[in-house]
Amino acid sequence: MSGIGDIAVRLERPLPEDHSFGNVRPILHEVLHALERLADTGEPTTIDLRAMPFGPGEEQKLEEALGTGEIAIRLDALGESRIVECAFPGVWLITHYNSHGEIMARLIEIAEVPAIIRAESPDLRSGATALRQRLEEGARDDDTTDAAMPEPHNTTDETG
């Protein structure tokens, strides 16, 4: 009786490296037009890569074409997000993952700074409230303040 090992296996040649489905170039043009618009008017643009009909390997080709620039940011909120500036300043590749490391969204943002990086007003206010609270607690307990605060003298002066 023949076993599974007797079944002939033939390795197929993968698609050649220069194989193209033709979907990368139009997106690069879209990025170019958005970048020119940003430079002229300051208007940012976001392109949702999930809405694009990519063939096998095309997303990687797009990534290679966009290149890597000077900034890479990691955001930890509801899973990781990677925000990478491409070789062209103002063009950012943003990948949102869930906590299982699965890609939830992939965007190209053409902007001076990606919107999600900016601290928004509610954050500034809650941050100020939290810091004030810590300073007040520190003033009540100098030992704790010394250990936790970077500038204990200023803290004492302001709150005392």
Binding site for other proteins (CB under 8 A): 12-13, 15, 19, 21-23, 46-48, 50-56, 58, 75, 77-79, 81, 96, 98-100, 102-105, 107, 115-116, 120, 122-123
Choice between 112 and 142, CB closer to other proteins: 112
CB of 140 to other proteins, least distance (A): 26
CB of 61 to other proteins, least distance (A): 12
CB of 155 to other proteins, least distance (A): 26
For 13-50, give one letter per residue: b (16+ CB within 10 A) or e.
eeeeeeeeeeebeebeeebeebbeebeeeeebbebebe
Residues with Cβ within 8 Å of 100's Cβ and at least 6 positions away in sequence, in order, are 79
Choice between 26 and 89, CB closer to other proteins: 26
R_g of the chain, CA atoms, integer Å: 25
Choice between 76 and 143, CB closer to other proteins: 76
CB of 40 to other proteins, least distance (A): 18
Choice between 79 and 152, CB closer to other proteins: 79
- Cα 74 to its chain centre, rounded Å, is 6
CB of 55 to other proteins, least distance (A): 3
Choice between 100 and 140, CB closer to other proteins: 100
Whole-number Å distance between alpha carbons of 112 and 89? 8
Helix (H) or strand (E) holding 91: strand 91-97
Q: How far apart are the first and last CA of the chain?
A: 90
If phi > 0 it is left, if psi is from -120 to 50 it is alpha, else beta; for residue 39 that is: alpha
